[in-house]
Amino acid sequence: MKVGSEVIAIVNYGMGNLASINNMLKKIGAKSEITSDPARIRSAQKLILPGVGAFDTGMKRLADLGLMDVLNEQVRQRGIPVLGICLGMQLMTAGSEEGALSGLAWIDADTRRFRPLENSALKVPHMGWNVVRSEKPSALLRNCVGEQRFYFVHSYYVCCRSRADVLLTSDFAGTFDAGFERANIMGVQFHPEKSHRFGMSLLRNFAEGA
């Protein structure tokens, strides 16, 4: 599938590196737009749910903007591809230790806080470049050969209940799930828009038909 043949809606709920994601998509020739308009989201062929910040704030903003129904319609009923980034990935889970609100529950997973051992030199948040490992084949990782490094900034991480959903893992205070994929639902904990050629390859694969 030719890059740019489908419109990718970057969901704007006031939390996330929207312009950076949009710029990288345009750099690879993909058609994308930043929007909080339910009609525009409904007409898109793919979605990106970005996010930086607190779990409950993210869920509340989605609700306040009236986006819950259209997102569930697109993802659960129509089955269009969606990619969650950082907080966006976490919002797809059942809930988070960070807050009290329920998540979108698109995938059977929970969001937990990193808890390094008291005598560990590790400091939360997990921030900076880290290596990820592929746990299963995926079109999202097509042509991604050799060591893959991505940029992370997070204090919470997703824990999938089914290992079959785990796409990527990384290490910080133990091994954690850095990416998941089940059917049309994909999420990555890192920021592809900040990850140079590694992130560009992943977003290109998503745009081309992952």
- Could you give the residue ranges of the DSSP H alpha helices within 8-149? 18-27, 38-43, 55-64, 68-72, 87-91
Can 86 be counted among the known catalytic residues?
yes
| Token pair listed for 13 | 């709920």
Distances (CA, A) of 204 to 85, 101, 147, 159, 166: 15, 33, 18, 26, 21
Can 33 be counted among the known catalytic residues?
no
Is 156:114 a contact under the CB 8 Å cutoff?
yes
| Token pair listed for 7 | 């419109």
Distance CA 180, CA 192 (A): 14
Instruction: List the catalytic residue out of 6, 135, 181, 193.
Output: 193
Q: How many CB atoms lie within 10 A of CB 64?
A: 11
Instruction: List the catalytic residue out of 86, 98, 126, 160.
Output: 86
Can 98 be counted among the known catalytic residues?
no
Letter string b/e over residues 5-31, b meaning 16 or more CB atoms within 10 A of that residue's CB: ebebbbbbbebbbbeebbebbeebebb
Bridge partners for 170 per DSSP: 176
Task: Output phi, psi for 162, to 5 deg.
Answer: -110, 120
Instruction: List the catalytic residue out of 6, 154, 160, 191.
Output: 191
Closest CA to 21 of 77, 94, 87, 66: 87
Active site amino acids:
86, 191, 193
